[in-house]
Amino acid sequence: MKCNLCPVNCGADRQSGAFGRCGAGGIKIAKYYLHPFEEPLISFSKGSGCVFFCGCSLRCAFCQNYELSRNKRGKDISVKELSDIFRELEERGADNINLVTPTHYVDKIAEAFSIYRPRIPVVYNTHSYEKTETLEIVDTFADIYLPDLKFIDPLLSERYTGRADYAEYALPAVKFMAKKPLVLDENGKMLSGCIVRHLIMPLAVYDTIKIIDFVAGLPETTYFSLMSQYTPMGEAEKFPELRRGITKREYSAALDAIRAHGLKRVFLQDRTSSDRAFVPDWDF
By the rule CB under 6 A, 131 interacts with ligand SF4 = no
Interface mask (CB under 6 A) for ligand SF4, residues 86-115, using x and -?
A: ------------------x-----------
The only residue of 51, 54, 57, 130 in contact with ligand SF4, by rule CB under 6 A: 57
By the rule CB under 6 A, 22 interacts with ligand SF4 = yes
By the rule CB under 6 A, 8 interacts with ligand SF4 = yes
Residues paired with 174 in a beta bridge: none
Cβ burial, residue 249 (10 Å; 0-12/13-18/19+): exposed
CB 99 within 8 A of CB 112: no
Entry field: residues in the chain: 284
CB 25 within 8 A of CB 14: yes
Which one, 20 or 118, has the nearer CB to ligand SF4? 20
By the rule CB under 6 A, 20 interacts with ligand SF4 = yes
Q: How many residues bind ligand SF4 (CB under 6 A)?
A: 15
Stretch touching ligand SF4 by CB under 6 A, among 21-29, 176-184, 213-221, 240-248: 21-29
Residues paired with 98 in a beta bridge: 50, 123
Stretch touching ligand SF4 by CB under 6 A, among 14-22, 43-51, 59-67, 144-152: 14-22
Maximal CA-CA distance, the chain: 53
Stretch touching ligand SF4 by CB under 6 A, among 15-23, 31-39, 202-210, 222-230: 15-23
By the rule CB under 6 A, 58 interacts with ligand SF4 = no
- 47 half-sphere exposure, CB direction, 13 A CA radius: 12
By the rule CB under 6 A, 3 interacts with ligand SF4 = yes
Q: List alpha helices for the chain, DSSP H.
A: 66-69, 79-91, 106-115, 132-138, 154-161, 166-177, 205-216, 248-261
**What's the closest the beta carbon of residue 7 comes to ligand SF4, in angstroms?**
7
**What's the closest the beta carbon of residue 11 comes to ligand SF4, in angstroms?**
7
Which one, 21 or 189, has the nearer CB to ligand SF4? 21
By the rule CB under 6 A, 27 interacts with ligand SF4 = no
**What's the closest the beta carbon of residue 4 comes to ligand SF4, in angstroms?**
5
CB 92 within 8 A of CB 34: yes
SS3 assignment, position 121: coil
- Compute CA distances 204 → 94, 165, 241, 276, whole Å: 36, 18, 10, 21
Residues of this chain that interact with ligand SF4 (CB under 6 A) are 3-6, 8-10, 12, 14, 20-22, 24, 57, 104
